[in-house]
Amino acid sequence: MRLCVIGNSHIAALKLGWDQLKAKGQAPDLTPVFFGAPSDGVRHLRAENGRLTPKRKDIAEHFQRMGGADHIVLDDYEAFFLIGLNVSVKRILRFYKSHAWVGLKGTEGKGLVHPGFARDFLTERYADTLMGVTAGHLQGRKVLALAEPLWAEWIRAGAKGVPDYGWEAAISAGDGDAIGQMFRDTVAASLPPHAQFLPQPAVTVAHGITTRLAYNKDASRLISGEGGGTDAAHMNGDFGAAIWPEVLPALQRM
Amino acid sequence: MEDEETGPETGLASSKVGVLGGDGLWSVAEVLRAAGLAPVDLEPAPKTVAPEVAAKWHYGRATVRAGLLGHPRAALQLLRCELPKGWIWKGADGLAVDGLRPEVDPEGLPKEAMLAYRLAHLAAVARLPAEVDRLILPLCTTRAMVDGAGTVFGARPKGVTLPTGVKLSEVSFTVKEMQDDLAALVELLRKAHPGIVVQVTLQPSLMEQPDPVAIEVALRALTSVPGVTHDPVFDALLLRRLSGGGGAAALAHLAQGGDLDTLGGTPAPVAAEESDREKRQRRKERRARNKDKKGDAAKVVCEDELLEAFAK
């Protein structure tokens, strides 16, 4: 199956994981073609005449270098795999700083809301992300969506220059699992009907809202060439390798 | 001389305004917000909430998410922050429904979660008296559903069952009862905030008995309660804004207890009918205020000219 993979920087872990599986002869029966742009670069795509064309030269160059073409011809692919695109659990953690839904434990000093309101609020917010917009360009096609990885669990201790999104507060209050479940539910609900959410595999998750250390080890060195241990947001090839076995079955279920 | 910190005198009033109830077909708080005022919101949604999500879950429609209320009895009962017997109802899906505000949440909750949810709401209600200087109380109806103990409940949604032993019947409040309830409400509010003012406003649905004489009598009784005011110009401006008309600045100014005479510029004309008694009362209040504001440089226009403008 020819698969078009579109994403931001988190696409790197998928590429590294694919290469690992390929080297071991364990790659699934897929032919992925990667088109990535850093940060929210994918926002600058024009959808017309069955193509996704970058409006910016630097993004076209990224596409050319990674996927071998400066634009995406939709009919060339049987399915699409969207990666990252600003869908992150950080959105719920920001909400959790001022509000909590009934049933959570860390409610002190917060506005207590009905869980149905939290669900509706977050679903609408996730639908408004780059993921939702990009999925909207792919009407009538098979689309699988993977959120940005949960940050590495060492972020609980904080990191210089990184805002405290509240991982430690949520986990120590005992709300990690409930927030993780709300994340999966609301991201899934936010996607259009032709798209399906692929949650991060349970084996990679720690405390409901973070990623196990093993999947973050050396990620920054492997992806950007910088020293390891400074990037809690991006994952390594092992993470990508844990994702790929889930992709083909999910596409076949659609 | 201009105040260096606040700049030139604009004549704009500035009070912390709350709205208690009136969350029916339209909301006074939303009309005020659209007019540029920010009513105090003690149960706010996240700032990034989409308008349709806020509307579905009744956020931003009053200072607390208490539903319609609509008469002094319900407002008084709420501010007493009690948990009356039989307040948890059972929805068609088996989930618990808050019988004191059944119109607010479109979905029920597990029964064990409902108490925590209600207590959080009451904590916001308990903060209200200290957080607002002026409390706008929309009067929407003179009728209510009450149980044998006199507890006022919300309108029972279809498919909802009441707890065993709870029977509701409809009552109509007399003017005297509303007056007494309002007096008790003001007394309760003033324990926490001695200077608080309650402004009643009539919503069109109160015109169940569109008898202007009866309404006039009722308003006279209600506004005879110390600390309670009513401003027909404010009511008329609310309706005008609701139907897309102008007068935003004047409405926001009046909501904060301002006097139109001290508002710069020409207020949008409003077709408001003031009774002679209300005109006299307004003149009296204005004279008293002006007496207290010696040296006030605010722009003052002739009252007769103003009334003429409003009559157009």
* Interface check A98 vs B, CB under 8 A: yes
Cβ within 8 Å, pair A117-B53: yes
Range of the domain at A63: 2-89+126-152+182-253
* Interface check A189 vs B, CB under 8 A: no
Q: Report d(CA B220, CA B200) in Å as an integer.
A: 11
Categorize the per-residue pLDDT at B190 as very low, low, confident or very high, splitting at 50, 70 and 90: very high
Cβ within 8 Å, pair A95-B120: no
Of the candidates A253, A243, A137, A145, which has an alpha carbon nearest to the alpha carbon of residue A189?
Answer: A145
- In B, which residues are within 8 Å of A108 by CB distance? none
- Specify the CATH number for the domain of residue A36: 3.40.50
- In A, which residues are within 8 Å of B109 by CB distance? 102, 114-115
Cβ within 8 Å, pair B43-A111: yes
B287 pLDDT higher than 60:
no
- In B, which residues are within 8 Å of A115 by CB distance? 109
Residue at A109 is within a domain: no
B168: which 2 tokens?
Answer: 């509701």
Cβ within 8 Å, pair A102-B57: no
Number of folded domains in chain A? 1
- Which of B48, B56, B120 has the CB atom closest to A112's CB atom? B120
**Within 13 Å and on the Cβ side, how many CA atoms surround A5?**
25
* Interface check B111 vs A, CB under 8 A: no
User: In sequence order, what E strands does A12-129 have?
Assistant: 31-36, 45-48, 51-54, 72-73, 79-83, 99-101, 111-113
**Mean pLDDT of the residues in chain B:** 83
**In A2-108, where does DSSP find H-type helix?**
11-23, 57-67, 90-98
Task: Indicate if the alpha-carbon torsion angle A84, A88, A91, A94 is positive or negative.
Answer: negative
Question: What tens digit of pLDDT does each residue of B246-262 get?
Answer: 999 999 999 999 888 77
Cβ within 8 Å, pair B109-A102: yes
Of the candidates B179, B220, B230, B211, which has an alpha carbon nearest to the alpha carbon of residue B71?
Answer: B179
Q: Report d(CA B152, CA B190) in Å as an integer.
A: 23
Whether A203 contacts A132, CB under 8 Å: no
Question: What tens digit of pLDDT does each residue of A129-138 get?
Answer: 999 999 999 9
Question: What tens digit of pLDDT does each residue of B126-183 get?
Answer: 999 999 999 999 998 888 999 999 999 999 999 999 999 899 999 999 999 999 999 9
Residue at A79 is within a domain: yes
- d(CA A122, nearest CA chain B) in Å: 9
CA B257 to chain centre: 13
Residue at A50 is within a domain: yes
Find the range with the poorest average confidence among A243-247, B15-19, B59-63, B139-143. B139-143
Residue at A242 is within a domain: yes
Question: What tens digit of pLDDT does each residue of A170-214 get?
Answer: 999 999 999 999 999 999 999 999 999 999 999 999 999 999 999
A81 versus B310: the higher-pLDDT residue is A81
Q: Report d(CA A126, CA A128) in Å as an integer.
A: 5
The residue-averaged pLDDT of B224-243 equals 92
Cβ within 8 Å, pair A116-B53: no
pTM attached to this predicted model: 0.85
CA B170 to chain centre: 23
Q: In what order do the strands lie in the sheet with B152-153?
A: B152-153, B143-146, B169-172
- Any idea what DSSP says for residue B171? E
Residue at A73 is within a domain: yes
- Which of A99, A102, A120 has the CB atom closest to B117's CB atom? A102
pLDDT of residue B93: 96
What residues 21-60 of chain B have any CB closer than 8 A to a CB of chain A? Answer: 43-46, 48-50, 52-53, 56-57, 59
**Mean pLDDT of the residues in chain A:** 93
Angle between helices A11-23 and A237-253 (to 10 degrees): 90
Residue at A212 is within a domain: yes
pLDDT of residue A161: 77
The residue-averaged pLDDT of A91-103 equals 97
Residue at A171 is within a domain: no
Q: Report d(CA A131, CA A196) in Å as an integer.
A: 11
Cβ within 8 Å, pair B45-A98: no
Find the range with the poorest average confidence among B101-105, B114-118, B171-175. B171-175
Whether A209 contacts A167, CB under 8 Å: yes
pLDDT of residue B225: 93
pLDDT of residue B2: 35
Residue at A103 is within a domain: no
- In A, which residues are within 8 Å of B56 by CB distance? 120
- In B, which residues are within 8 Å of A117 by CB distance? 45, 53, 57, 59, 105
Cβ within 8 Å, pair B48-A103: no
- In B, which residues are within 8 Å of A95 by CB distance? 46
Cβ within 8 Å, pair B116-A112: yes
Cβ within 8 Å, pair A124-B53: yes
Categorize the per-residue pLDDT at B277 as very low, low, confident or very high, splitting at 50, 70 and 90: low
